[in-house]
Structure 1
Amino acid sequence: MSMPTTELTPDVADRWITRWDRQQEGYLPGREERFTALIDAVEAGAGRPDPLILDLGCGPGSLSARLLDRLPRATVVAIDTDRLLLALGEAAHTGRDRLRFTNLDLRTPGWSAALRLDRQIDAAVSTTALHWISGPELRVTYGELARLLRPGGLFLNGDHLYVEDKAPAIAGLDRSLREREIARRFTTGRPEGWRDWWEAAAADPALASFITGDALGADHAGSESGLLSTHVNALRESGFTEVGTLWQRGDDRLLCAVR
């Protein structure tokens, strides 16, 4: 599918990305702490000062930009399927020659070859994105990712991953803690939500041509692979030698896998 010919200005893109970050932080109170832990892990484990990194489900590039702020010699290839979020990222970060946005579907076999990389990657990262991929498709994603990573390379996935299939009592307490935290944080009403952001974006003439009906119809209420075990098993089946949690805040965790 071709991209719209309308060009976004950096000012418009910055404004909408700032608003995107704000609505994300509204329901992810540990977002910046998770970002910091993830980037610490990349810096400590990439093995070189100029790593090649993939950002899977990159959105408008919030994590990619933070990675390059910390690691200015890195090269980040940011992958997503959403036309608007990719366009915002490209417009906002047009001056970063070490950041490349790519429109690919991680669920489609062959996506890794379409990147046409000239060497194996040192790390792959993702935040609050891969739970949208179903279990069978996740094995495709992780299988191709394993072939891209160098031996010893890292995959770092920050997301809400639940344990209810293995520990129902703990899972019940986990949900209770999350609900109580939300009730304390939003005593005067919730901030702008994900769907609110998309509806506002669709009403902006500068963005409307980038938005498809699928974006507005999506619903965050039904994660397709929100179980921790689904990701752990798929990673191990794909050949990752170690899988474990590096950072955690309730069910919000940073899952690490070593190739």
Structure 2
Amino acid sequence: MSTLTPEVADRWIDRWDRQQEGFLPDREERFTALIDAVEAGAGRPDPLILDLGCGPGSLSARLLDRLPAATVVAIDTDPLLLALGAAVHAGRAGLRFADLDLRTPGWSASLRLDRQIDAAVSTTALHWIPGPELRVTYGELARLLRPGGLFLNGDNFKVEDSAPAIARLDRSLQEREIARRFAAGHPEGWREWWEAAAADPALAAFVAPDAVDAAGTDHNGLESGLLSTHVEALRESGFAEVGTLWQHGDNRLLCAVR
């Protein structure tokens, strides 16, 4: 397989960040809140942290910028995103990437960690995992975390239809905000980024065969897009406390304490 130069990877990660910010204008604010929580709650200056569904390492890099003594294990299964992250962050102290599928039982043992982790983080990733598999993922995560350890998950969590009037208002507010935000037209989207990446000869060898088709799916409509799905799965997995630390509309930072 061909290799990516840091220059090419850096350009595509920058483009990745721009398209993410296009539909998540509060992305940096959510990153800051999440990292604040890790810094305040990890209990030590050199925490061991897992980044679940890390993509090209955008959050992992920001964690190490703030906590240079930390060790971050960045986990994903997409070959292109892992290749981009590995090319840009090659040799960075405290960061390693792991090619693991969080839906596969036993993924936690494959990490071969020498101690329990202090925190696990994720942003805009775990809604890809259907509810039954998500319970397996959280169960393994709970066994990795030390007592009192933190799990912080930033995502767009939907209000459940058990409160139909609130759910309707929630959707209405989201639709109105989107209309205002994109009054001049939408920036590059998720699918457009993947189509452009697949068309770039420098990246083509790393793009999974179904990546572009998957990018066109309505992944936010999965069962695990519901806030209740995550809360219930975390409690069933043995987390003592589960609650929202930060929120803007349906954009929430969910925190669970082991």
- Same fold by TM-score, threshold 0.5 exceeded? yes
Structure 2 residue aligned with 1:245:
244
1:48 aligns with 2:37: no
Question: Is contact 1:165-1:227 (8 Å) kept?
Answer: no
Q: Report the counterpart of residue 202 of structure 1 in structure 2.
A: 198
Q: Tell me how far 1:222 sits from its aligned partner.
A: 3.4
Query: 2:218 matched to which residue of 1?
Result: 221
Unaligned stretches of 5+ in structure 2? none
Q: Answer yes or no: is the 8 Å Cα contact 1:178–1:250 preserved in 2.
A: yes
- State whether residues 26 and 191 of structure 1, in contact with CA within 8 Å, keep that contact through their aligned partners in structure 2: yes
C-alpha distance in 2 between matches for 1:222 and 1:116: 31
Q: Deviations over 1:120-152 (max 9, x none)?
A: 000000000000100100000000000000000
Match in the other structure for 1:60 = 56
Partners of 1:253 and 1:117 lie apart in 2 by 29
TM-score by length of 1: 0.97
Return the alpha-carbon distance in structure 1 between the equivalents of residues 181 and 218 of structure 2: 20
- Match of residue 254 from structure 2: 255
SS in 1 for 2:219: coil
Question: Percent of pairs identical after alignment?
Answer: 83
Q: 1:16 is paired with a residue of what secondary structure?
A: helix
- The separation in 1 between residues aligned to 2:40 and 2:162, in whole angstroms, is 32
Q: CA deviation at 1:164?
A: 2.4
Q: How does 1:127-206 map to 2 (within 5 A)?
A: 127-206=123-202
One-letter identity of the residue aligned with 1:222: H
In structure 1, what is the Cα distance between the partners aligned to 2:160 and 2:140? 28
Q: Deviations over 1:152-180 (max 9, x none)?
A: 00000000111123311111111111111
Contact 2:152 2:253 (C-alpha < 8 Å) held by counterparts:
yes
Q: 2:9 matched to 1:9?
A: no
Contact kept? 2:160, 2:228, Cα under 8 Å: no
Preserved CA contact (<8 Å) 1:247 1:255: yes
Q: Deviations over 1:65-99 (max 9, x none)?
A: 00000000000000000000000000011131211
Check whether the contact 2:127–2:219 (CA below 8 A) recurs between aligned residues: no
Gaps of 5+ in 1: none
SS in 2 for 1:144: helix
Query: In structure 2, how many angstroms separate the alpha carbons of the residues matched to 1:27 and 1:213?
Result: 25
Distance in 2 (CA, whole Å) between partners of 1:251 and 1:11 is 35
Report the CA distance between 1:220 and its aligned residue: 4.3
Find the counterpart in structure 1 of residue 88 from structure 2. 92
Secondary structure in 1 aligned to 2:121? strand
Do 1:43 and 1:71's aligned partners in 2 also have CA atoms closer than 8 Å? yes
Counterpart secondary structure, 2:210: helix
Q: Give the drift of 1:213.
A: 2.0
Aligned pair count reads 255
Contact 1:80–1:102 (CA under 8 A) maintained in structure 2: yes
Runs of 4+, deviation exceeding 6 Å: none
> Is the contact between residue 83 and residue 211 of structure 1 (CA under 8 Å) also seen in structure 2?
yes
TM-score (norm: length of structure 2)? 0.97
| RMSD (Å) for aligned C-alpha atoms | 0.8
SS at 1:76 equivalent: strand
Distance in 1 between residues matched to 2:109 and 2:161, nearest whole Å? 35
Q: What SS does the corresponding residue of 1:102 show, helix, strand or coil?
A: strand
Q: Distance in 2 between matches of 1:165 and 1:244?
A: 19
Deviates more, 1:93-102 or 1:202-211: 93-102
Structure 1 range deviating more: 161-170 or 137-146: 161-170
